[in-house]
């Protein structure tokens, strides 16, 4: 290929890329993703030319996938009989989980979930014959269990519990949901897309966090994303299911590729993000992830202190590395910050903004951001 032409195209791409906000420059303070650590980038590049959807063509890639799933099994206290499906992220895993619940119990259609559930469930209701039955939150912004029980009826398909909500990082009372679901014999899916890579390590650090994983016997499946706190490359999310035999229910025959059956939604998919997630898991291990989570939590408490010092109030004290700040006009503050090169999120429902203290949000980033945030809040009458 013509080198000059390549250079021209790459130059053009660079210009587009310069318009993007950047994790590494410390501009993105509201995302649940982060810059992949260095080994993830190297592993990703190595496996660009793969298709794990056709596993007999790429048996090495398939082995990596199995090894990565084994890592997740251990992380989530999954039983021997469990299995996982790797996909593009939390949305896809949530779709597959509800698809599975429906296939196990086709006549039921009501899905009970907290008001704090991620919008992926709205997509699910639009794709599948499922009715969302929302439950109010209690004073701690968790699913209200008393209210949840009242919603159960003969059409109940199952429950969704969230381990690390998108807005506030709150963990629903999964053990209580597990008891209910066992008693009622209905499916319980835990959306730990964000919290799955944090809560196990918080436990190791001595934080009092509830059991959210397969230790609860009623938990049937869990969503967990490596491209969030797993610090790996987008796109990678996994759905872990308690019983591998259930995957038959969401598998189809695949006559013209090298495996006879394929579970889940995707067909062709790259092994690059799988290799990246596995490489990060190998490189960091439990100790590395625990250190990373400890740093994020310390920076979270540091940020909370700074925010309270400037006279702002939080929606609630953070459980994990998600901080929601009450504001009179969050959209206005978010817009002004955007113009100044910072991206934080707004939560209209709670009249708040949200900052996620991901690994790239270091103390230096916070020290640079807080005076700017304070000035804007002062000028707009928030403080
Ligand atoms: N579930 C939760 C709790 C999330 O926070 C998110 C995204 O932030 C998702 C699901 C969707 O994940 P993805 O954007 O990877 O599809």
**Which domains, from first to last, does the chain contain?**
22-35+289-379 (3.90.1150.10), 39-281 (3.40.640.10)
220/157 Cα distance (integer angstroms) = 13
296/289 Cα distance (integer angstroms) = 10
Cβ atoms of 332 and 380 within 8 Å: the answer is: yes
Backbone angles phi, psi at 359, to 5 degrees: -55, -30
User: Which distant-in-sequence residues (6+ apart) come within 8 Å of 10 by Cβ?
Assistant: none
8/20 Cα distance (integer angstroms) = 19
Cβ atoms of 65 and 262 within 8 Å: the answer is: no
Task: Give the residue carrying structure tokens 């039955």.
Answer: 133
Q: Is 89 in the pocket of ligand 1 (CB under 6 A)?
A: yes
CA atoms in the 13 A half-sphere facing the CB of 74: 9
What pLDDT score does 1 carry?
64
369/106 Cα distance (integer angstroms) = 51
What pLDDT score does 279 carry?
98
Q: How far is the CA of 194 from the centre of ligand 1 (A)?
A: 7
pLDDT in tens, the chain (383 residues): 689 999 999 999 999 999 999 999 999 999 999 999 999 999 999 999 999 999 999 999 999 999 999 999 999 999 999 999 999 999 999 999 999 999 999 999 999 999 999 999 999 999 999 999 999 999 999 999 999 999 999 999 999 999 999 999 999 999 999 999 999 999 999 999 999 999 999 999 999 999 999 999 999 999 999 999 999 999 999 999 999 999 999 999 998 887 889 999 999 999 999 999 999 999 999 999 999 999 999 999 999 999 999 999 999 999 999 999 999 999 999 999 999 999 999 999 999 999 999 999 999 999 999 999 999 999 999 99
Backbone angles phi, psi at 78, to 5 degrees: -80, 145
Q: How far is the CA of 161 from the centre of ligand 1 (A)?
A: 13
Write the DSSP assignment of 6-72 as a string of letters: HHHHHHHHHHHHHTS--TTTT-B-S-S--PPPHHHHHHHHHTTT--TTSTTT-HHHHHHHHHHHHHH
Task: Give the residue carrying structure tokens 């397969």.
Answer: 214
Helix 272-309 and helix 363-379: axis angle, to 10°?
A: 50
Q: Is 222 in the pocket of ligand 1 (CB under 6 A)?
A: no
User: Which distant-in-sequence residues (6+ apart) come within 8 Å of 9 by Cβ?
Assistant: none
Taking the whole predicted model, whether its pTM rises above 0.95 is answered as yes
In this structure, which long-range contacts are made by residues 247-255, counting pairs with CB atoms below 8 Å and at least 24 apart in sequence? 247/83, 247/85, 247/100, 249/100, 249/103, 249/104, 250/96, 250/99, 250/100, 250/103
User: Which distant-in-sequence residues (6+ apart) come within 8 Å of 117 by Cβ?
Assistant: 134, 160, 162, 165, 191
From first CA to last CA, the distance across the chain in angstroms is 59
Q: How far is the CA of 177 from the centre of ligand 1 (A)?
A: 21
Q: How far is the CA of 98 from the centre of ligand 1 (A)?
A: 15
What pLDDT score does 2 carry?
83
Rg of the chain on CA atoms, in Å: 21
Q: Which of 86, 87, 118, 168 to mutate to test the pocket of ligand 1 (most atoms within 8 A of CB)?
A: 118
């Amino acid at each position: 290929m013509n080198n000059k032409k390549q250079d021209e195209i790459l130059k053009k791409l660079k210009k587009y890329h310069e318009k993007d906000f950047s994790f590494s420059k410390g501009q993105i303070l509201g995302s649940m993703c982060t810059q992949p650590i260095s080994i993830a980038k190297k592993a990703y590049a190595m496996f660009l030319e793969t298709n794990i959807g056709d596993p007999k063509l790429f048996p090495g890639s398939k082995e990596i996938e199995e090894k990565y799933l084994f890592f997740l099994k251990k992380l989530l206290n999954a039983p021997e009989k469990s299995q996982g499906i790797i996909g593009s992220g939390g949305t896809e895993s949530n779709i597959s989980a509800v698809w599975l619940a429906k296939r196990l119990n086709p006549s039921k259609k009501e899905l009970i979930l907290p008001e704090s559930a991620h919008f992926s469930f709205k997509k699910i209701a639009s794709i599948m014959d499922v009715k969302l039955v929302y439950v109010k939150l209690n004073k701690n912004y968790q699913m209200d269990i008393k209210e949840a029980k009242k919603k159960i009826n003969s059409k109940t398909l199952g429950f969704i519990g969230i381990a690390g909500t998108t807005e506030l990082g709150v963990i629903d009372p999964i053990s209580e949901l597990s008891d209910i679901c066992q008693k009622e014999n209905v499916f319980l899916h835990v959306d730990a897309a964000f919290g799955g890579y944090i809560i196990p390590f918080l436990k190791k650090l001595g934080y009092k966090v509830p059991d959210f994983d397969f230790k609860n016997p009623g938990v049937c499946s869990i969503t967990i994303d490596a491209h969030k706190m797993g610090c790996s490359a987008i796109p990678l999310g996994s759905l872990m299911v308690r019983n591998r035999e259930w995957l038959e229910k969401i598998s189809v025959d695949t006559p013209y590729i090298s495996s006879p059956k394929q579970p889940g939604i995707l067909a062709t998919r790259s092994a690059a993000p799988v290799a990246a997630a596995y490489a990060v898991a190998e490189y960091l291990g439990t100790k590395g992830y625990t250190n990373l989570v400890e740093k994020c939590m310390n920076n979270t408490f540091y940020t909370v202190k700074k925010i309270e010092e400037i006279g702002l109030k939080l929606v609630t004290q953070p459980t994990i590395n998600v901080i929601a700040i009450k504001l009179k006009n969050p959209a206005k503050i978010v817009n002004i910050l955007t113009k100044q090169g910072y991206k934080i999120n707004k939560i209209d429902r709670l009249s708040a903004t949200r900052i996620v203290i991901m690994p790239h949000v270091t103390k230096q980033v916070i020290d640079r951001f807080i005076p700017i945030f304070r000035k804007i809040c002062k000028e707009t009458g928030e403080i």
